[in-house]
Amino acid sequence: MSVLVYVEHAEGKFRKSAFEVVSYAKAIADQLSTGLTAVVIGNGDKAELEKLGTYGASTVLFTGNTQLSSFVNQAYASLLAEAAAKADAAIVVMTNSFSGKGLAPRLAARLGAGLVAGAVALPETGDRKFTVKRSAFSGKAFSFVTLLSDKKVITLNPNAYPATENAVTPAIEEFSPAVKESDLGTLVKEIIRASGKVSLPEAELVVSAGRGLKGPENWGMIEDLANALGAATACSKPVSDAGWRPHEEHVGQTGIAVSPNLYIAIGISGAIQHLAGVSSSKTIVVINKDPEAPFFKVADYGIVGDAFEIVPKLTEAIKAYKG
Ligand code: FAD
């Protein structure tokens, strides 16, 4: 019996959430006094794969199959089920990302496993059997789920568990089971990126703006601030509904849930549906001209004033500080 961790990469490079999920899986493997196998799909770069040993993976299985270089849910689920069988894994862990959210239930069904989605802490074992704390209702509450099944699948929220160095020299093995034609149900023809932008779900710094900005023509100052900080940009729902910003920037209950180290909310009132997706951010800074705006109740730092005056000054100050 072992633990398997599925590790995502972006064009061959691992991001912070990859090291977090490996560290988390390693801690579970240690709790159970067993080994950790990492599986990586569509990346055969040995130097990059070795980094997973730094966070505790003793074996790294990889497949360089080019048919699988873009995420295909059915095919990835089949491959992970085979990897779990090869590693004799009772527990499979992955990131609660867009692809992890799709993949985990499918894999759990294939393995006959219990599933916890959105874990935020290590499982409690012992008297509490195998109980995992997870984020519920878009981050407004926590629930504790006890997995009674022998096999378990867990998805870990980004930024919920620290990447912890645990140096191991991993055995790196190619693993290329045949992919069934029927598993390749979708074909990624083209990936179109917003060039040079920081990816929002993974961002450590986020500059977000709402209807207080009045119109899309005023987003230049938001982008200037984000660029000065090296931050991703985000927005409230009405802003993306109105087409002022693309939908992939919409955060909240019905958008992306983020938990960066710093979330700067500009001209956003702080409605409960917005807070649902951002309240686990480590530090929240609110800029709003209304001192009664609900967002101030959850802010670590608040500036009451006109965003059109404050934001350019803040950007200049950051640029001056950074030299
Ligand atoms: P407003 O509520 O209009 O607030 C604008 C703020 O800007 C005000 O606080 C105002 O004081 C301030 N302001 C105005 N001018 C300035 C200025 N010059 N300088 C500084 N501050 C200024 N919303 C989300 O964001 N995400 C979701 O996922 C989401 N899901 C929803 C799901 C459901 C089922 C429902 C019913 C609603 C959902 N909403 C969501 C909408 C949510 O209820 C709010 O309507 C929305 O968050 C408000 O957006 P806002 O704060 O940008 O706009």
CATH 3.40.50.1220 residue ranges of the chain are 200-322
pLDDT digits (tens, 9 = 90+) for 19-40: 999 999 999 999 999 999 999 9
Contact call for residues 248 and 200 (beta carbons, < 8 A): yes
Q: Is the CB of 238 under 6 A from ligand 1?
A: yes
243 annotated as a binding-site residue? no
Q: What was the pLDDT predicted at 32?
A: 93
Q: Return the residue whose CA atom lies nearest to atom 20 of ligand 1.
A: 288
Q: Which residues pair with 235 in a beta bridge?
A: 209, 250
pLDDT digits (tens, 9 = 90+) for 191-213: 776 656 777 877 889 999 999 99
The count of other CB atoms within 10 Å of the CB of residue 65 is 18
Listed as own residue / partner, the contacts of 260-263 with beta carbons closer than 8 Å and 24 or more positions apart are 260/159, 260/203, 260/204, 260/205, 260/206, 260/232, 261/159, 261/204, 261/205, 262/204, 262/205, 262/206, 262/229, 262/231, 263/206, 263/208
Q: What was the pLDDT predicted at 250?
A: 96
pLDDT(243) > 90: yes
- Winning range, highest mean pLDDT, from 56-60, 63-67, 192-196: 56-60
Q: Is the CB of 289 under 6 A from ligand 1?
A: yes
Q: Is the CB of 210 under 6 A from ligand 1?
A: yes
Q: What was the pLDDT predicted at 194?
A: 64
What mean pLDDT is predicted for residues 114-128? 90
* pTM of structure: 0.77
Q: Is the CB of 245 under 6 A from ligand 1?
A: no
Q: What was the pLDDT predicted at 62?
A: 95
Secondary structure string (H, E, C) spanning 102-171? HHHHHHHHHHCCEEEEEECCCCECHHHCCEEEEEECCCCEEEEEECCCCCEEEEECCCCCCCCCCCCCCE
Q: What was the pLDDT predicted at 259?
A: 81
Q: What was the pLDDT predicted at 128?
A: 66
Q: What was the pLDDT predicted at 275?
A: 93
What is the atom index within ligand 1 of the atom nearest the CA of 239? 52
Q: What was the pLDDT predicted at 96?
A: 92
pLDDT(127) > 80: no
Both tokens of 151, joined, read 């096999």
What is the atom index within ligand 1 of the atom nearest the CA of 295? 9
Q: What was the pLDDT predicted at 126?
A: 77
pLDDT digits (tens, 9 = 90+) for 66-94: 788 888 899 999 999 999 999 999 999 99
CATH 3.40.50.620 residue ranges of the chain are 2-183
**Coil vs helix vs strand at 206:** strand
2-183 CATH pick, 3.30.930.10, 3.60.70.12, 3.40.50.620, 3.30.1370.60: 3.40.50.620
Distance CA 189, CA 110 (A): 28
Using most ligand atoms within 8 A of CB, pick from 249, 250, 253 the residue to mutate for ligand 1. 253
3-state helix vs strand vs coil in the chain, percent to 5: 35, 25, 40
What is the atom index within ligand 1 of the atom nearest the CA of 277? 28
- Average pLDDT value for the chain: 92
Tokens 């390749």, residue located = 184
Distance CA 92, CA 80 (A): 9
ipTM score over 0.90, yes or no = yes
Q: 270: pLDDT confidence band, cut at 50, 70 and 90? A: very high
Q: How far is CA 35 from the centre of its chain?
A: 24
Using most ligand atoms within 8 A of CB, pick from 208, 241, 285, 289 the residue to mutate for ligand 1. 289
CA of 264 to the centre of ligand 1 (A): 14
**Coil vs helix vs strand at 293:** coil
Q: What was the pLDDT predicted at 129?
A: 84
What mean pLDDT is predicted for residues 2-30? 93
The Cα-based distances of 153 to 8, 123, 259 in angstroms read: 16, 12, 22
The count of other CB atoms within 10 Å of the CB of residue 217 is 8
Q: What was the pLDDT predicted at 195?
A: 55
pLDDT(4) > 90: yes
- Contacting residues for 134 by C-beta, under 8 A, at least 6 apart: 116, 117, 118, 119, 120, 142, 143, 144, 145
Q: 279: pLDDT confidence band, cut at 50, 70 and 90? A: confident
Q: Return the residue whose CA atom lies nearest to atom 37 of ligand 1.
A: 273
Q: Under CATH, domain 200-322 is a member of which superfamily?
A: TPP-binding domain (3.40.50.1220)
Q: How far is CA 140 from the centre of its chain?
A: 18
What mean pLDDT is predicted for residues 285-302? 98
CA of 228 to the centre of ligand 1 (A): 25
pLDDT(137) > 80: no
Q: Is the CB of 211 under 6 A from ligand 1?
A: yes
Closest CA to 209 of 255, 253, 245: 245
Helix or strand run (H / E) with residue 17: helix 16-31
What is the atom index within ligand 1 of the atom nearest the CA of 310? 19
Closest CA to 124 of 114, 133, 111, 134: 133
Residue type, 89: A
250 annotated as a binding-site residue? no
